[in-house]
A and B are shown apart, each in its own frame.
Chain A
Amino acid sequence: TQLLEQSPQFLSIQEGENLTVYCNSSSVFSSLQWYRQEPGEGPVLLVTVVTGGEVKKLKRLTFQFGDARKDSSLHITAAQTGDTGLYLCAGDTGNQFYFGTGTSLTVIP
């Protein structure tokens, strides 16, 4: 059983569409990170959220940390082919770090 469950696991959308990826847990995290990973490369940090209810924007990407600090979402507006990749959330409990199950996104031109 994974501590952090992501949904959906796989997502294929047309360029220009919007999408949301969810990262859920029953545990509380002191911080949560989102990463994007391309095939054959290591994960690249997109954002860190630390405050319950926090919303951060990174161009077309909007990240939200749940009020109870147990879940998070990543919303992409007007997806582009360059957004294709594996999106990973990761949570820090203060003494341990857990990766989510991952969401593989494919944006079709």
Chain B
Amino acid sequence: GAVVSQHPSRVICKSGTSVKIECRSLDFQATTMFWYRQFPKKSLMLMATSNEGSKATYEQGVEKDKFLINHASLTLSTLTVTSAHPEDSSFYICSASDGRATYEQYFGPGTRLTVT
């Protein structure tokens, strides 16, 4: 149980375009989803926390107009990187929680974004 999927696993896009990454909880209802960014051999950096049906809470320094997060249902959250630039290239990971405990997060497999 507690499986989280991400789609796509890899995406290459051109500078200036937008790209959407989906995060789905497959066998549980995710009241909260988290989006992280990770650079090679570095830890995960929390970008934002989203609760189903409400606006996401962004961490300091993360542009909410650039990284649009939607959590429209209890099984789906999306991250849209708008007007992508090469510096947005990174590994993006989502996690989902059913709300029972802060530490019980289930991680997706990640999405490798490359902006050319």
Of chain A, the residue at the smallest CB distance from B108 is A42
Interface size class of B (residues with CB under 8 A): 20 to 34
The smallest beta-carbon distance between A28 and chain B, in angstroms, is 14
Hey, which bits of chain B sit against chain A, CB under 8 A?
4, 6, 34, 36, 41-46, 91, 93, 95, 101-103, 105, 107-110, 112
Number of interface residues, chain A, beta carbon within 8 A? 27
* Those 6 A-B pairs whose CB atoms lie nearest each other, nearest first: A92-B103, A42-B107, A102-B43, A104-B41, A42-B109, A92-B102
* 19 more A-B residue pairs beyond the given contacts A88-B44, A92-B103, A97-B46, with a C-beta to C-beta distance below 8 A: A2-B43, A10-B41, A30-B103, A31-B101, A35-B107, A40-B91, A42-B4, A42-B93, A43-B107, A44-B107, A86-B41, A88-B43, A92-B102, A95-B102, A99-B43, A99-B46, A101-B42, A102-B41, A102-B42
Partner of A41, one of B41, B44, B102, B110: B110
The smallest beta-carbon distance between B91 and chain A, in angstroms, is 8
Of chain A, the residue at the smallest CB distance from B43 is A102
Q: Is the CB of B44 within 8 A of A43?
A: yes
Residues of A within 8 A of B102 (CB): 92-97
Residues of B within 8 A of A30 (CB): 103
Say yes or no: A99-B44 contact (C-beta < 8 A), given A42-B107, A90-B103, A94-B102.
yes
Best-buried of B4, B42, B45, B95 by chain A (most CB within 10 Å) = B42
The smallest beta-carbon distance between B31 and chain A, in angstroms, is 14
The smallest beta-carbon distance between B42 and chain A, in angstroms, is 6
